[in-house]
Amino acid sequence: MTWEDLGWSAPLNEAEVAVRRSRIEAAWKGQPECAGCGIRELALFADLEEEDFSLIHMPIDEILFEGGAILYNAGDQAKAVITLRTGLVKLVQYLGDGSQRIVRLLRPGDTIGLEATLQDEYEHTAVTLRPALACRIPVDVVHKLSRETPRLHRQLMARWHQSVKQADDWLTGLSTGSARTRVARMLLQLPRLSGPDGVEICELFSREDLGAMLGVTTETASRMIAELKRSQVIVERKANAFVCDDRVLREIAGE
Amino acid sequence: MTWEDLGWSAPLNEAEVAVRRSRIEAAWKGQPECAGCGIRELALFADLEEEDFSLIHMPIDEILFEGGAILYNAGDQAKAVITLRTGLVKLVQYLGDGSQRIVRLLRPGDTIGLEATLQDEYEHTAVTLRPALACRIPVDVVHKLSRETPRLHRQLMARWHQSVKQADDWLTGLSTGSARTRVARMLLQLPRLSGPDGVEICELFSREDLGAMLGVTTETASRMIAELKRSQVIVERKANAFVCDDRVLREIAGE
DNA sequence: CGTTAATTTGAAGACTCTCAACTGGTGTGG
DNA sequence: CCACACCAGTTGAGAGTCTTCAAATTAACG
């Protein structure tokens, strides 16, 4: 079976700027293009052994998305599961009245669109917040591996478990308390990149997205960030990239 | 292996008012005590076939809890998964500052404490909101079945999936918008019992719990309910049991 | 360099929280 | 049987927070 058989030859959408093909064996064997790929340690196939990979005879797409790209829309045909290698992705759920709420963030190593293994439509809209590198795994591959090896089961369960846990924490942490508290908690749990001088930096996103994550308006999100900047609790290094005073943030977050 | 081997002979806690033993075969074969049990259609073992059940040689506890009983506390040793047959259970997550948030409600057919299959501690505190009948399934049974039959896998995945979906809906539906909107949405998605005269009735819970579900204070929750009562959108039949005007509720809920 | 989008800020009003008092029902002990 | 304490629910008033609508400012881009 090939990608063409699945009707996946065309790019997912216009935002998809590059598609590189690689057989799964390549990913596994650590060929150049996959050097530094976290897939072996982090991702869905972490527990698999080399023999398992030999069961797969279907290419895995490795895709580079630009920031703001749509991985899929809610309701789209769900034929693949996506593993995120670099970047950050938001899962958006739309409400009846047209407003939207971001229900989860996905980081490198996370699996996106896991529901594809159980139903034929995606539940959310998945959008990159920054340029992102991802691997698109056809659900047939997952199903086949699932039949052949029990090792994948535990990983799948673990992924589901992780999603539930994150959803619960998102609710209690980022959807409870004052806007200031929520912003502080968000900043604390944001992935930190170590800057050039070794100081930890966290890249924020648009105020609109921040609001949609915390359940407050764009203006309120903006005010809170602006306030933190003025009081020097966070210091802007580059555009939307901050050095955070975690001690004070934890205090604001209610420890 | 028996329950005693697992150290489960003692009741889970003082709130457990009755324990009845039944072998899983009994449940499957539809013996009297299991007549009307939804386990075959709804629950974790829905897909299993008779031969699968013969693999189990460990008793399943059937437990009757009174309202407000604690099924388990966050951090408790997680040795069993629980299937709810009747009643309603809340999952409570505690925050650093001691306050609490209810992250999910579980209804008949739902599986409680699924994390027991993956880790040895429960993540939430599970408390009955009404008298409840539940079956306690040792994780060893789940693991054994999991090894022997692939049919359980799909059910487990489906359960996880369901949890994630409910968590996401809980966030977007019950944690977004004004307090009035949230209360309306909550009432709309509450399980309805058909009253004596055939009219659908929904039993509400304490204002404190309602507040903890919606992320508002007890007083605000009370005000919203009182207001709906005054405006006749909901009519109290018995204590805390209402007939709801769904048309108006949907309007308040924002369509 | 002009135009557009994103962010910030202001001010008024709506909403929610806090603290406090009041109500009605339940259970206990005298 | 009554007095009392206790608890959940309700209500009130003022303070505080967030939203809304609008305008000003800054950043981004062709």
Residues B175-230 pLDDT 10s: 999 999 999 999 999 999 887 788 999 999 999 999 999 999 999 999 999 999 99
pLDDT cut 90: percent of chain B above it: 55
B38 vs B150: which has the higher pLDDT: B150
- What is the pLDDT at residue B116? 97
Q: Which of residues 163-182 of B touch strand C (CB under 7 A)?
A: 178-180
pLDDT at B147: 81
Please tell me the distance in Å from B97's CA to the nearest CA on chain A: 7
Select the more confidently predicted residue: A115 or B64: A115
Give the full edge-to-edge strand order of the sheet including B200-203.
Answer: B193-194, B200-203, B241-244, B234-238
The closest CB to that of B175, out of A104, A175, A254, belongs to: A175
Looking at domain A10-173, its CATH architecture is Sandwich (2.60)
The closest CB to that of A167, out of B115, B147, B171, belongs to B171
Q: At what angle do helices A207-214 and A179-188 cross, to 10 degrees?
A: 110
Strands (E), chain B: 16-23, 59-65, 70-72, 80-86, 89-94, 100-106, 111-112, 125-128, 132-138, 193-194, 200-203, 234-238, 241-244
CB contact under 8 A, B255 and A163: no
Assess whether B215 (CB) lies less than 7 A from strand C. yes
- Of A159-168, B35-44, B75-84, B145-154, where does mean pLDDT reach its minimum? B35-44
Structure tokens at B214: 């919606």
Contacts of B178 (CB under 8 A, 6+ apart): none
Kind of pairing, strands A241-244 and B200-203? Answer: unpaired
Instruction: Look at A103 and B160 and tell me if their CB atoms are within 8 Å.
Output: no
Q: What pLDDT, in 10s, does the model give residues B94-146?
A: 887 778 899 999 999 899 999 999 999 999 999 999 999 888 888 988 888 88
- Contact residues, chain B, for A156 at CB < 8 Å: 157
- Closest to A161 measured CA to CA, from B71, B107, B101, B164: B164
CATH classification of B4-173 is 2.60.120.10, yes or no? Answer: yes
CATH number assigned to the domain with residue range A178-252, chosen from the 4 options 1.10.10.10, 1.20.1250.20, 3.40.800.10, 3.30.160.250: 1.10.10.10
Min distance B70 CA to chain A CA atoms (Å)? 20
- Chain A residues with CB-CB distance to B157 below 8 A: 117-118, 156-157, 160
pLDDT of B12 reads 42
A108-112, A150-154, B22-26, B80-84: least confidently modelled range: B22-26
Q: Do residue A97 and residue B147 have CB atoms under 8 angstroms apart?
A: no
Q: What is the CA radius of gyration of chain B?
A: 19
B255 chain-A contacts, CB cut-off 8 A: 96-97
**Residue B243, SS3?**
strand
Is A168's CB within 8 Å of B103's CB?
yes
Average pLDDT of the residues in B230-243: 94
Q: How far is CA B7 from CA B14, B79, B161, in A?
A: 16, 10, 31
> Which of B51, B50, B53, B43 is CA-nearest to residue B23?
B53
Here the tokens at position B56 are 């189990």
Amino acid at A24: I
Sign of the alpha-carbon torsion through A230, A231, A232, A234: negative
Pair A225, A207: CB distance under 8 Å = yes
**pLDDT score for B11:** 39
Nearest residue (CA) to C1' of C7? A222
Sites in chain A below the pLDDT cut of 50: 1-18, 20-38
What are the extents of the domains in chain B? 4-173, 178-252
State both tokens at B55. 């693999």
**pTM, to two decimals:** 0.86
Is the Cβ pair B123, A165 closer than 8 Å? yes
